[in-house]
Amino acid sequence: MAIDATGLDSRHTSRHYARRRGKRYRLRSYVLLAVAAHTQSHLIAAAEVRVGPTNESPLFADLIDQAVGLAPWARVLADKAYDAEHNHALARDQSFIRSTVIPLNRRRGRKWPATKYRRQMRRRFPKRKYGQRWQAESVFSRHKRLLDDALRSRSPGAQERECRLRVLTHNVMILAA
């Protein structure tokens, strides 16, 4: 299982297009879609929707709980944004996932992490297994290419419902292929 998040635009014209046209948009909030995806099939096992920009790490617990409720998982792959000891402990101790592969997000001052699972990642990081994390990026690439990266809804509640419907549509499209 690979975990990652992406931003979905809430307007139909991209920031790049607006910049090219000479228009200026202030930095607005956007919809953050965080997913836990199966690395072989690209099916989305869990999804969380928030208003961004925000820290992705608190979404980890909800994603793990949803995904473990569907099927047992052997490994979790995530990027540095999810590096926290409580995320490692949640996945391994409470959800019975055999290994977590999350690279260290270096903090200032300490060379070696003081906590158990982060120290283990520092000691022997499985680069070959972490190489499959790109599958999460591939899920988002397919999702945005086929379903577009701009949401049609305007209110936050409707945007969340639209994102959840898009996740369902994404999974149906994979199963139908």
Contact 49, 33 (CB under 8 A): yes
Write out the two tokens for 135: 């599958």
Backbone angles phi, psi at 33, to 5 degrees: -110, 115
Give the predicted TM-score (pTM) of the model: 0.84
pLDDT tier for residue 107 given thresholds of 50, 70 and 90: low
Contact 129, 77 (CB under 8 A): yes
Contact 154, 23 (CB under 8 A): no
pLDDT confidence of residue 121? 80
Phi-psi region of 33 (alpha: psi -120 to 50; beta: other; left: phi over 0): beta
Kindly give, in sequence order, each residue whose CB lies less than 8 Å from that of residue 119, ignoring residues fewer than 6 positions away. 112, 113
pLDDT tens-digit profile of 122-131? Answer: 878 888 888 8
pLDDT tier for residue 119 given thresholds of 50, 70 and 90: confident
Domains of the chain plus CATH, in order, are 2-176 (3.30.420)
Q: 3-state secondary structure string, 15-52?
A: HHHHHHCCCCCCCCCEEEEEEEECCCCCCEEEEEEEEE
